[in-house]
Amino acid sequence: MNKTVDAIKKEGNFLAISILVAALIVAGTLIYVFGPARGTGGNEVPEGSEAEAGQPPAVGDDYVLGDANAPVTIIEFGDYQCPFCGRFFSQTEPQIRENYVKTGKVKFVYKDLVIIDGFVAGGQESTNSAMAANCAGEQGKFWEYHDFLFETEIADGEENSGNLNKNLFVNLARKLGLNEANFTSCFDSKKYLAEVEGDTAEAEASLPQLSTPSTFVNDRLVSGAVPYEQFAPIIEEELK
C-alpha cells in the first residue's frame, strides 16, 4: 500500500515544504515515512532496523508510564491517526508493558509527531487528539486517554474521517470520570498546542527521517511497527 501527498504544511518550528509520504511494508513491519532521509537524498528507512539518529529526545515534561527510575527508557514518536502506530500499540506495546514496564525495568514515554493532519487541507484530528490527551493528563489520566484514542481510531480504520472530534473527546473524558468542565476548558483554549508542536519539532531534531512510529530504546532508534519478538532483544541488550 502506498500513499503520497504533494505537501505537508508544518507549523511552529517546521517550514512548509513538499515531501513524499510513503506507507512502506518491508519484512512484515509497517511505517509511515515522510520526506528524504537527512543527508542522503533517499526516501526510505528500513523497517525494524536501527537507524543513526540525531539528538536523542529527552523525557522532559512528557508523561511517564512506569517507574521513573527504570534503567531503560522507551520514547515513542507517534500520531494517533497513524495505523502503524495503532499496530505497534495493539500488538507490541502490551507485551512491553507487561514484561518490562510492570516489572520496573522500563519506563515508557509517548511524544506526538503530528503528520497525518497534513494529508488534507485544514486537518486537525491528530493535533486535537494530542491536545485532548494532554488535557486528560492534567487530571491524571493521560495513559488511559491515550489508550482510548488508539482503540477508537483502530476501530474506525480511516485517517481524517472526522471521528476524532470534540464530542468524542468529551465523551472519552466522561467515561474516565474526568471533570468535564475543566477538560473542555483546557481543550477549547488549546492549552497544550505549544506542547504538541514542541514534540513534533523535537522529532525533527532527533530522527534521521520523519516516520511513525519511531521508537527510542535509550539512545537506540528503532523504526516501524516492529514485532515484539524483534523489539524485546533490543531492550534486553540495553538492560545488560
pLDDT in tens, 49-105: 444 556 789 999 999 999 999 999 999 999 999 999 999 999 999 999 999 999 999
Locate 159 and state its grid cell.
Answer: 485517517
Give yes or no for residue 17 having a pLDDT over 50. Answer: no
Has residue 219 got a pLDDT over 80?
Answer: yes
Sign of CA dihedral 77, 81, 85, 86: positive
Predicted TM-score (pTM) of the model is 0.83
| pLDDT at res. 215 | 96
Question: Domain 50-239 class?
Answer: alpha beta
The more confident residue out of 41 and 214 is: 214
Whether the pLDDT of residue 45 is over 60: the answer is no
pLDDT category of residue 118 using cuts at 50, 70 and 90: confident
Task: Summarize pLDDT for 174-197 with one digit per residue, the tens.
Answer: 999 999 999 999 999 999 999 999
Confidence at 33, pLDDT banded by 50, 70, 90: confident
Q: What integer pLDDT is reported at residue 223 of this predicted model?
A: 92
Question: What are the boundaries of each domain within the chain?
Answer: 50-239
Higher pLDDT, 38 or 153: 153
Distance (Å, whole) CA 240 – CA 222: 18
Averaged pLDDT of the chain: 84
Which residues are within 8 A (CB) of 129 and not within 5 positions of it... i.e. 6 or more apart? Answer: 80, 81, 149, 164, 169
